[in-house]
Amino acid sequence: MRVVVDKENRIPYYWQIADQLKKQILTGILTDGTILPSERVLAESTGVHRNTVIKAYGILKDEELVESVHGVGYRVTCGVHPEAEEGQRRKKGVNWNHAIKDEYQDMEKTFDDIFQRFTEESQISFSTGMAPAVFDAEKVAADFEAILHDEQKKPFYLSPYQGDLSLRKCILAFLREKSIRASLGQIQVLSEMNQAMDFIVTALLKPGDKVLLEEPVSPDVYRAIALAGCKAVTVQVDENGMICDDLETLIERQKPKFIFVNSSFHDPTGVVMSTERRLKLLDLANRYGVPIVEEDAASELAFDEALQPMTLKSMDRHDNVIYIYSFSLTFIPGLSLAFVVAPEKLIKSLSYLVSIRMISLDWMRQKLLTAFMSEGRYREKLSLIRELNRKKALLMQSCLDRLKPLGITYEPPKGGVYIWCRLPNRIDSREVARLCMKRGVSVIPGDVFYPGRNGGYHQLRLNFSFETEERILEGMKIFGAVIEELSNDA
């Protein structure tokens, strides 16, 4: 067993130790029942304090990869123990660690784990970007019944690969309200933003290609790039969005296949890209012939509707922007849809991908969203969601303000669903997330938004849209208690 701590690396020592041990356990280097070095021995061999090793072993215990046994120490526990019957231990089977390609064995599971654990009823989620519960269940059930009745003579399990025609017509009207020019042939309906990003990556990229991404950026985006065998080249974000000062040099040197931006109420920072930078980005894209992929799920969620940001797509006069809109933050939780607006040639490629990867798009969801949009109910609910989000954001801000004496800082959001918090340098955001999770509250540590894990150690993303006001207060009380404890221990 070999564990090395890189003291030049900004990743906390205990996370370095835990990640290396985890990898050795999951890849079979450390087999089930292996006795791990004592806290003192491992501390001496890695040149760290014993408390650092205790923290590392604590993380592995939380993930049920090791157990502490009285009189023995720490032991790997990921299946059959040594004291099990000899025949059972000698059984052979598929070695899934070798069967599955390395790139699909993501050793960094923090982001996914938090979202899976949030489904537990007792969990308070400040991690999940979803719309609040403003949709009446009985009314939605009646909508489904009406759809089934109206369409009962049709093969309702099928829909055009490009998306339901009635829905695309509603989307056209919706786009006109956002000053986006498009035709029916330029719209592709998909299940969600992640699928849209996956299909765009599949259609545009080859292994070895480079893509310019904002940093910080959603893990869903940079993982899609990495799984395609491509390289993410990051550009920092500040209070005005993607910093464009050195963008031309990057484009000339890196020759990216596209530039990804989340321009309005950015995930995770919540910032809005300035008009000046939008114009510069559009100019560079046009001069160098580089497409822009604009992800937009939150531009409709400005707390003041009059200050709703313009999209890059609405400012694009040369058809260089591929626009992704997701209904994940504005429609019934769990029934999200998304669409892509792009040149017809790319839309045909995306429709072809739908035809070979799916039997059909979700017909019921498309019909339901069509009903909401055509009858004006979508806009009504959007206004209600916007106001609820504003109130919840103010409530969460009031809780954060009480933690300012401990060093918590943040920029008050003007829309969207996230608050990007900065912790004092002595507090690690992963430790905050781990302790909050143990007490029933999920938050997202900042480093998962950095593809190279080179930042975010003292930042957190908090979502305020999903939970009720009562649960926000309950969860923020727990969050505050964790911050106080870590401040006192530092």
Same domain, 147 and 17: no
Which comes out higher in pLDDT, residue 95 or 214?
214
Same domain, 365 and 399: no
With 70 as the cut, is the pLDDT of residue 69 above it? yes
pTM of the model: 0.81
Question: 78-107: buried (b, 16+ CB within 10 Å) or exposed (e) per residue?
Answer: beeeeeeeeeeeeeeeeeeeeeeeeeeeee
Cis peptide before 268 (omega within 30 of 0): yes
Same domain, 412 and 340: no
Could you tell me the CA-to-CA distances from 343 to 44, 181, 183, 320 in Å, in that order? Answer: 60, 11, 9, 8
| Percent above pLDDT 90 for the chain | 66
249: exposed, middle or buried (Cβ count in 10 Å: 0-12, 13-18, 19+): exposed
CATH code of 430's domain: 3.90.1150.10
Residue 310 lies in a domain: yes
259: exposed, middle or buried (Cβ count in 10 Å: 0-12, 13-18, 19+): buried
CA–centroid distance for 40 within its chain: 38
440: left (phi over 0), alpha (psi -120 to 50) or beta: left
Instruction: Judge contact between 384 and 462, C-beta under 8 A.
Output: no
Residue 390 lies in a domain: yes
Q: What are phi and psi of 485, to 5 degrees?
A: -60, -45
Could you tell me the CA-to-CA distances from 263 to 241, 291, 310 in Å, in that order? Answer: 7, 15, 9
Domain end, chosen from 375, 398, 416, is at: 375
Same domain, 26 and 141: no
Give the model's pLDDT for residue 115: 53
With 50 as the cut, is the pLDDT of residue 116 above it? yes
Host domain of residue 343: 137-375
Same domain, 393 and 459: yes
The mean-pLDDT minimum among 69-73, 421-425, 478-482 falls in 69-73
Give the model's pLDDT for residue 364: 85
Per-residue pLDDT, averaged over 377-402, amounts to 96
Report which residue type is found at 112. D
**Residue 338 and residue 414: Cα distance in Å, rounded?**
24
Residue 164 lies in a domain: yes
Residue 151 lies in a domain: yes
Per-residue pLDDT, averaged over 231-235, amounts to 95
Q: What are phi and psi of 70, to 5 degrees?
A: -60, 130
Residue 3 lies in a domain: no
Same domain, 151 and 289: yes
Per-residue pLDDT, averaged over 10-25, amounts to 87
Domain end, chosen from 307, 340, 375, is at: 375
CA–centroid distance for 450 within its chain: 11
Instruction: Judge contact between 322 and 346, C-beta under 8 A.
Output: yes
Parallel, antiparallel, or unpaired for β 418-422 and 231-238? unpaired
Q: How confident is the model at residue 120 (pLDDT cuts 50, 70, 90)?
A: low
Same domain, 312 and 207: yes
Q: Which residues pair with 210 in a beta bridge?
A: 231
Give the model's pLDDT for residue 362: 78
**Residue 237 and residue 418: Cα distance in Å, rounded?**
15
Same domain, 97 and 156: no
With 70 as the cut, is the pLDDT of residue 99 above it? yes
With 60 as the cut, is the pLDDT of residue 424 above it? yes
- Which has the closest alpha carbon to 299: 285, 289, 309, 286? 309
Q: What is the DSSP letter of 299?
A: G
Which comes out higher in pLDDT, residue 131 or 331?
331
With 70 as the cut, is the pLDDT of residue 177 above it? yes
Q: What is the pLDDT of residues 338-357, one digit of tens each?
A: 999 999 999 999 999 998 98
For the ranges 7-16, 64-73, 98-107, 399-408, the maximum mean pLDDT occurs at 399-408
Give the model's pLDDT for residue 144: 82
The mean-pLDDT minimum among 122-131, 361-370, 419-428 falls in 122-131
Give the model's pLDDT for residue 84: 44
Which comes out higher in pLDDT, residue 150 or 372?
372
Q: What are phi and psi of 45, to 5 degrees?
A: -70, -25
Taking 3-state DSSP, the helix, strand and coil percentages for the chain, each rounded to the nearest 5, stand at 45, 15, 40
With 50 as the cut, is the pLDDT of residue 294 above it? yes
Q: How confident is the model at residue 85 (pLDDT cuts 50, 70, 90)?
A: very low
Give the model's pLDDT for residue 89: 46
Same domain, 123 and 170: no
Residue 364 lies in a domain: yes
Q: What are the tokens at 25?
A: 């356990």
Q: How confident is the model at residue 118 (pLDDT cuts 50, 70, 90)?
A: very low
Same domain, 42 and 141: no
Q: What are the tokens at 182?
A: 């498009």
Same domain, 260 and 396: no
Instruction: Give the DSSP per-residue string, 171-188.
Output: HHHHHHHTT----GGGEE
Domains in the chain: how many in total?
Answer: 3
CATH code of 257's domain: 3.40.640.10
Helix axes 275-288, 247-254, angle to 10 degrees: 30
Instruction: Judge contact between 42 and 36, C-beta under 8 A.
Output: yes
The mean-pLDDT minimum among 32-36, 282-286, 295-299, 397-401 falls in 32-36
Q: What is the pLDDT of residues 45-60, one digit of tens each?
A: 999 999 999 999 998 8
Mean pLDDT score across all residues of the chain: 88
Same domain, 115 and 97: no
Residue 2 lies in a domain: no
Per-residue pLDDT, averaged over 128-153, amounts to 80
Parallel, antiparallel, or unpaired for β 418-422 and 459-463? antiparallel
Per-residue pLDDT, averaged over 458-480, amounts to 96
CA–centroid distance for 190 within its chain: 18
Residue 8 lies in a domain: no
Q: What are the tokens at 327?
A: 């209904």
Domain end, chosen from 316, 350, 375, is at: 375
Which comes out higher in pLDDT, residue 122 or 131?
131
With 80 as the cut, is the pLDDT of residue 152 above it? no
Using DSSP's 3-state secondary structure scheme, residue 75 falls into strand
With 80 as the cut, is the pLDDT of residue 210 above it? yes
Q: How confident is the model at residue 137 (pLDDT cuts 50, 70, 90)?
A: confident
CATH code of 32's domain: 1.10.10.10
